[in-house]
Amino acid sequence: MFDALYAAGHKPFDLAVERLIAFLRVSLALFSLIAFVTSPWPQLQSREQFELILAIYAVFGLGVALLPTLAGLRTGWQLPVHLIDIGVISVLMYFLQSLSSTFFILYVFVLLSATSRWNWRGALWTTIFVFGLQVIMFLAAGTVVQFALQSAFLFIIGGMFAFFGAGRERSADRLNQIAVWPSNRAQSYTDTDNNWLDASLSHVATVLEVPRILLLWEITQEPYLFTALFADGKCQQARTTAVRISNLVSAQLENLTFASEAAEPKECITSAGTKHETDPIVNSSLRSLFKISSVCSAPFAGEFCRGRVFMLDRAGWGEDDLALAEVVASRLLFELEHDALCVRLEETAASRERVRLARDLHDSVLQSLAAAGLQLKLIASRLEQNVQLELGNVRKLLSDEQQRIRKFVERRQPLPSKQHINLHDELQRETEAIERRWGCRVLLQSASTKDAMVSPELARQINFVLAEAVANAVQHGNASRVNVSVKQTPNEIQLQIRDNGVGLSGANGNYNQKELATLGIGPQSISKRVTELRGRLALSSSPRGVELRIDLACDGPATKRTKYVAHAFG
């Protein structure tokens, strides 16, 4: 233990603390010397010797204060100096029995310096060492009452400093542990499962010793409130439109970090002091949904997202926890912003690839389709009338595809237009084109969305989804009829596509999007497109056919919030 204490003195120190200790040492020595010289105390023997000891101690303190400046010594001398402090005070107390109570108070200075240097270990071992000296002095020449009082005072003060040192060391350790944040690969930020978030929340829960962590955030221009709840070593993520970030906590606490033993109306501690709330500290529906009682929460806001982190179910919050919560919130904000930036960079790269692809399509496929149309026209002119009609239908299909590709080439950038179009009319035109293309009956039911207005980009993406779904139904399911139902809610477009085919081979039942990706079944192209649109996909398969249920965030005039950047040729 002695070696450990000595080694601690060789670690880098905060020189401001060492200078404070040196200043206190010099001040205490000088005041003790002045008091000793100016007081009569006729009963003292060898007054000059004790005055000399105090004078030397004052000069010694001045020399220690100048060590870092003159000699360039910053570490390695703290433990010897600490033992000298104890020795000088003990000598004065032993030889000046009548004044021992006066000098005993100097042990507080010794305990303070030990705690500043070595935290609780310094306070503990200094208390034990000084108590040992007290026992020796009591056995040599001392009174029971004086020994008892001084020992009690020593253990009380030493215990307080040890407690303070332990808290100080624990706070430093937690800060160091939080600083060792999980290192996430750039690829993990583009994964749909957000595994990087699981690792980050798990790290915070371990360091701060909290059973549960709730993270809620909004992304710019998206209508959802995203949630992530870490509990029992697992992270569950979801999204909702029922609650907004601005309604999560009391209005007075919206921009503050706070902690409370109960989320109901009660006082809570903040960085600005204790606050008494009349309204519930946490939104009542949120409190009921996640069973929130004891909570420490911090807000965060950035360029792409804003939200709050809630650390739950731990008793005994303090001011240190508020500071740590703010550090955690800042780091989570960095992670979420980085995630949003990675998605944006991925979309930019896809946009550039789309421009290149559009140029290639214009110079190759479009020209080939035009040539094929001309060849069919020449062939039809030499054939019978009924054959000409059939070839005319084929030419019409080729012409339609030419127009679709030409529109794509002219559009180039996958950014939404400011003008919104009628979704029902757009889907009606698309279903008619699909019927001609595949010879399959497509029934559209969208009475409730006849007035739905969406961006051209979203309408285009829905058309791609519908075309791919019908193509799969005809080619793989031998379907002859497809029923399409479209509904609009304040925040979503709900698309239901049901065919009368034979279903998926070897896959009967209900599947969500994650299960489809894991099993590698279902329409992978549609699944990827829905993922890019941040939507949800569910599939039901039976011998009577396949049913797709797709939810996409709408961007009509009432909720102009979402950018759609899914790529037509992805």
Residue 564: its pLDDT value, please?
38
Q: Does residue 185 lie in a domain region? A: no
Using alpha carbons, list the distances in angstroms from residue 344 to 103, 195, 310, 479, 483: 69, 19, 28, 39, 36
Domain with residue 534: its CATH number is 3.30.565.10
DSSP labels for 473-495?
HHHHH--SEEEEEEEE-SSEEEE
Asked whether 26 and 65 are in contact (CB, 8 A), the reply is yes
Listed in sequence order, the DSSP H helices in 9-105 are 15-38, 47-66, 78-95, 100-104
Q: Does residue 187 lie in a domain region? A: no
- Tell me the angle at which helices 78-95 and 106-141 cross, rounded to the nearest 10 degrees: 50
The Cα–Cα gap between 290 and 312 comes to 10
Asked whether 467 and 434 are in contact (CB, 8 A), the reply is yes
439 shares a domain with 295? no
29 shares a domain with 174? yes
pLDDT digits (tens, 9 = 90+) for 55-74: 888 888 777 777 666 555 55
- Most confident option among 179-193, 339-353, 354-368, 401-415: 339-353
Answer yes or no: is pLDDT of 43 > 70. Answer: no
Residue 481: its pLDDT value, please?
93
The Cα–Cα gap between 562 and 241 comes to 13
552 shares a domain with 406? no
Phi (first) and psi of residue 552, to 5 degrees: -125, 140
What is the band of 183 on the pLDDT scale with cuts at 50, 70, 90? Answer: confident
Residue with tokens 């309204």: 279
The Cα–Cα gap between 468 and 460 comes to 12
Answer yes or no: is pLDDT of 521 > 60. Answer: yes
Between 264 and 476, where is the model more confident? 476
Q: Count CB atoms within 10 A of the CB of residue 521.
A: 17
Q: Which is it for the CA torsion 334, 339, 345, 351, positive or negative?
A: negative
Q: Is 542 exposed, middle or buried (0-12, 13-18, 19+ CB in 10 A)?
A: middle
Domain span at 17 = 2-179
As for how many domains the chain has, the answer is 4
Encoded amino acid at 546, one letter: V
The Cα–Cα gap between 459 and 466 comes to 10
133 shares a domain with 49? yes
153 shares a domain with 48? yes
The Cα–Cα gap between 144 and 154 comes to 15
pTM above 0.85, yes or no: no
Percent of the chain scoring above 90 in pLDDT = 13
The Cα–Cα gap between 10 and 74 comes to 8
Residue 100: its pLDDT value, please?
60
Q: Does residue 351 lie in a domain region? A: no
Phi (first) and psi of residue 540, to 5 degrees: -125, 130
Residue 566: its pLDDT value, please?
38
pLDDT digits (tens, 9 = 90+) for 481-520: 999 999 888 778 899 999 999 998 888 899 998 888 888 8
Between 20 and 13, where is the model more confident? 20
Do you know the residue count of the chain? 570
Answer yes or no: is pLDDT of 189 > 60. Answer: no
Over its C-alpha atoms, the chain yields an Rg (Å, rounded) of 38
Q: Does residue 275 lie in a domain region? A: yes
Answer yes or no: is pLDDT of 130 > 70. Answer: yes
Between 542 and 196, where is the model more confident? 542
Domain boundary among 313, 344, 375: 344
Q: Does residue 352 lie in a domain region? A: no
pLDDT digits (tens, 9 = 90+) for 534-560: 889 999 999 999 999 999 987 543 333
Asked whether 267 and 276 are in contact (CB, 8 A), the reply is yes
Domain with residue 231: its CATH number is 3.30.450.40
Answer yes or no: is pLDDT of 212 > 90. Answer: yes
Answer yes or no: is pLDDT of 567 > 50. Answer: no
435 shares a domain with 404? no
The Cα–Cα gap between 222 and 120 comes to 50
Residue 551: its pLDDT value, please?
92
212 shares a domain with 107? no
Q: Count CB atoms within 10 A of the CB of residue 536.
A: 17
Q: Count CB atoms within 10 A of the CB of residue 4.
A: 10
Q: Report the first-to-last Cα separation within the chain, whole angstroms.
A: 66
From the list 555, 532, 553, the residue with the least C-alpha distance to 454 is 555
Q: Is 237 exposed, middle or buried (0-12, 13-18, 19+ CB in 10 A)?
A: middle
* Cα dihedral 205/206/208/213 (nearest 10): 10
The Cα–Cα gap between 134 and 89 comes to 11
452 shares a domain with 311? no
257 shares a domain with 330? yes
Residue with tokens 């508020």: 322
Q: Does residue 349 lie in a domain region? A: no
Asked whether 300 and 307 are in contact (CB, 8 A), the reply is yes
**Mean of pLDDT over the chain:** 78
How wide is the angle at C-alpha 217 spanned by C-alphas 213 and 220, nearest 5°? Answer: 165
Q: Is 177 exposed, middle or buried (0-12, 13-18, 19+ CB in 10 A)?
A: middle
Q: Does residue 380 lie in a domain region? A: yes
Q: Which is it for the CA torsion 440, 445, 450, 453, positive or negative?
A: negative
Q: Does residue 355 lie in a domain region? A: no
pLDDT digits (tens, 9 = 90+) for 27-38: 877 877 777 777
Q: Is 452 exposed, middle or buried (0-12, 13-18, 19+ CB in 10 A)?
A: buried
317 shares a domain with 244? yes
pLDDT digits (tens, 9 = 90+) for 231-241: 988 888 887 77
* Cα dihedral 366/371/372/375 (nearest 10): 170
The Cα–Cα gap between 174 and 333 comes to 19
pLDDT digits (tens, 9 = 90+) for 385-442: 777 777 777 777 777 777 777 666 665 544 444 578 888 888 888 888 888 778 889 9
315 shares a domain with 293? yes
Residue 5: its pLDDT value, please?
47
Between 194 and 453, where is the model more confident? 453
Domain boundary among 155, 179, 203: 179
Reading the block at residue 473, the tokens are 């139904």
406 shares a domain with 306? no
